[in-house]
Chain A
Amino acid sequence: MRHRAALLLLGIGLLSIFFGFAAGIATAQDETPTPTPEVTQTPEEEPASDAYCLLCHTKPDQVWHLPGGETLSVTIDPQVLAGSVHGESSPEGALACADCHPNFRYPHPPTTARTTREFRLERYAVCRNCHEDQYTRAQDSVHGAFLRAGRLEAAVCVDCHGGHDIQPPDEPRQRISLTCGRCHGAIFEEYRLSVHGSALLDEGNPDVPTCIDCHGVHDIQNPTTTLFRVRSPELCANCHANDELMGKYDISTHVFDTYLSDFHGSTVTLFEQEAPDVVTNKAVCYDCHGVHNIKAVEAGTDTAIRENLLTTCQQCHPGATADFSNAWLGHYPATMESQPVLFLANRLYDVLIPVVIAVLVILIGSELIRRIRQRQSG
């Protein structure tokens, strides 16, 4: 790959020397070289060839001074370009410069961008030409909404995928969270120390969630909405109710069903079904476990966890007393050892309800038999 690029550069250089234009190309940072059609044999009406573009853009220290005072490096490393997903490895064939920069030749078309950010926002829509679906979904995302609202820092295609050095976005898998962390640095720092983040980044664990497993990819929705909140337990359940997945780590899959059978869970479920936009004060998973800073929860007998639990409860129940948190069973079904009274009460009704039903069935059945006997006897 590097040899091919070197040959390309060598060829361009020889051509330049042959036509005697090499000396005319400025090398100073604030001077722009002037390629000519003759050098790259690209007629005016045809797209500029890669050689035409790279004639200037491979030169080191090429920068563009924007009206706002910023400078943008416009030096392109052919190696980087060739190694990107749009390079030689692309099954559709390598993209040419003009595929993403149509109608660009020297002198470049004028731009209204005053800053590098404005220029990026001006240019990113070109991705739509090939990635219509992803582009459209991104427009419908929280990033798209913030961008339309004037928040220019909201991510666009190239912020996550890069411009010329685009790599497979999920290879390695850690790249996903590292990409989000570029803008969401504070959240990334919380995540990397969490049970999920440390497993992903330190151990390369393939099972823990990255950012997109909870937030989605291109159509990322606003996670601060009530709708997201009441649906969030389902996100956790995607993994934590999965027997096969949790079995690998000896984690109970009762977390979701015990939550749903609890006062909080049943209420949130009802809200999610009936009025997802109405604010509820009932706790969802992340109210107790944290959002991005989720820590590992060890066995329910851990006293530190119990002490922390009261603090957690008091976030929503300010008057909660020391024994209040013992009302929470820790996502585990009651046992004779852990909650004996509850265990016995449950077992009592496990017997009593069928007995009552049986007695009532016998009662009605026997009354029917009486009526049949009476009818038969006249």
Chain B
Amino acid sequence: MPDESGHEIRTGKTLSAAQRIERLVVVVALIGLILTGLPQKYSGEPWAEFIIVLLGGIESARILHRFMAILLMAEAIYHVLALAFKWFVYGLRPVLLPGLKDWRQFLDRILGNLGLRSDTKSGNGFALKIEYLVLVVSAVLLIFTGLILLNPIAATTIFSGESIPVARSIHSNQALILVLFLVVWRFAVIFLWHPQRQQLMAERDASAPERSANQIASRRRSFLPVALVIAALLVLGVLWFAFGEQTAIDTVPRRQAVVFAPQVMPDAGDAHVGAVLWPTLRCAFCHGDEANGGPNGEPALRNTTIPFPAFYEQVRVGKGDMPAFSAEDLPDGYLLHIWAWLSQPSS
């Protein structure tokens, strides 16, 4: 009788070689995803910073995260096809999907722990089944939302823009749930519950329909080409999603700004600016704080009707007792703002 991957179960072993490889891939991918993902979720924490530094920086961490995600997606594709193979060719139902009975077992276990119900002999198969369910549901959510986050532009051609922050929320929170669950549940599975996988396999095999060798061979021949095509399409899809979209440009374009520009002539003078400029300049010494004239007969300048070119010329060249002010003393733009204020009717 084949195991979950379609391989024969070897006597005395609960997992075939293919299953052991699958498990190793899942363990490596999950640990990698947790190590590279959680520090991103908690990027402000010192421990997160420490791990990211160990990983070679945030960009390296993200590349590793993406690689581990590809690994997990590849494993998921293989796993689904293997399950389909077993079901189609051998008629084996997925053994690890929990039913109502398993949830009752789990509840009985807790109530039994607390002494509220006597222990039953129903076994601990629930431990593997619930773990499998949480893992599958989480993997589906994480892969789906991860693909959205990896391809936000493509995603928003299908879904609304809101899908991006939604995906981020689900990805981040579901990952946290999975980590918490796996750490505690694995501890319980290994040290407390010791569930018997062989028992589950035996139950599954007992419920499998009888098929002849010819039937199995025929079904295998039908399944494999279809499976190969589906596998190829899924792998291509994963690769496209992983590397297909150039989401953003490599560097934010630098803004070009003229830094040293003492002589800038604005389109129009700003009387507000002129008003605050005035008392900061030497003009006020002679013409008064409000430009209403000085104590020694210096002329009032408010409400001036002099056109700006004439005003400009007078300031630059000087007139009578008034000295000339160079552009270095008083930039052109400031002169225009002052003129705007002076020529504005004062209240």
> What is the interface of chain A, defined by CB distance below 8 A to chain B?
2, 60-61, 73, 75, 77, 79-80, 83, 116, 153, 165, 167, 172, 174-175, 178, 181-189, 192, 198, 201-202, 204, 224, 260, 263, 266-267, 269-271, 273-275, 278-279, 281-283, 287, 291-292, 315-321, 323-329, 334, 339, 341-342, 345-346, 349, 352-353, 356-357, 360, 362-364, 366-367, 369-370, 373
From B257, which residue of chain A is reached at the shortest CB distance? A187
Q: Mark B235-268, 1 if CB is under 8 A from A, else 0.
A: 0000000000111111111110111111110100
Known contacts: A183-B260, A321-B157. The answer to whether A281 contacts B251 by CB under 8 A is: yes
A182 cross-chain contacts in B, Cβ below 8 A:
262, 331, 334
A319 cross-chain contacts in B, Cβ below 8 A:
153, 245-247
> What is the interface of chain B, defined by CB distance below 8 A to chain A?
40, 43-44, 49, 52-53, 57-58, 110, 112-115, 152-153, 156-157, 160-166, 168-170, 173-174, 176-177, 180-181, 184-185, 187-188, 192, 245-255, 257-264, 266, 270, 272-273, 276-277, 279-280, 282, 285, 295, 321, 323, 328, 331, 333-334
CB-contact partner of B252 in A185, A287, A356, A363, under 8 A: A287
A274:B58 contact, CB within 8 angstroms: yes
From B328, which residue of chain A is reached at the shortest CB distance? A116
Q: Supply 26 A–B pairs (Cβ within 8 Å), ascending by A.
A: A73-B323, A79-B285, A116-B328, A165-B282, A172-B280, A174-B280, A178-B273, A178-B276, A178-B334, A187-B258, A188-B333, A189-B266, A192-B273, A201-B272, A202-B270, A224-B254, A279-B251, A291-B257, A317-B152, A317-B249, A319-B246, A321-B157, A323-B157, A324-B161, A360-B185, A366-B114
A339 cross-chain contacts in B, Cβ below 8 A:
162, 165-166
B181:A356 contact, CB within 8 angstroms: yes
From A324, which residue of chain B is reached at the shortest CB distance? B156
What's the least CB distance linking B298 to chain A, in Å?
12
From A75, which residue of chain B is reached at the shortest CB distance? B323
CB-contact partner of B272 in A61, A202, A281, A317, under 8 A: A202
CB-contact partner of B321 in A60, A192, A267, under 8 A: A60
A345 cross-chain contacts in B, Cβ below 8 A:
166, 169-170
A323:B160 contact, CB within 8 angstroms: yes
What's the least CB distance linking A334 to chain B, in Å?
7
B177 cross-chain contacts in A, Cβ below 8 A:
349, 352-353, 356
B162:A342 contact, CB within 8 angstroms: yes
A77:B161 contact, CB within 8 angstroms: no
From A287, which residue of chain B is reached at the shortest CB distance? B252
A356 cross-chain contacts in B, Cβ below 8 A:
177, 180-181
A363 cross-chain contacts in B, Cβ below 8 A:
110, 184, 188
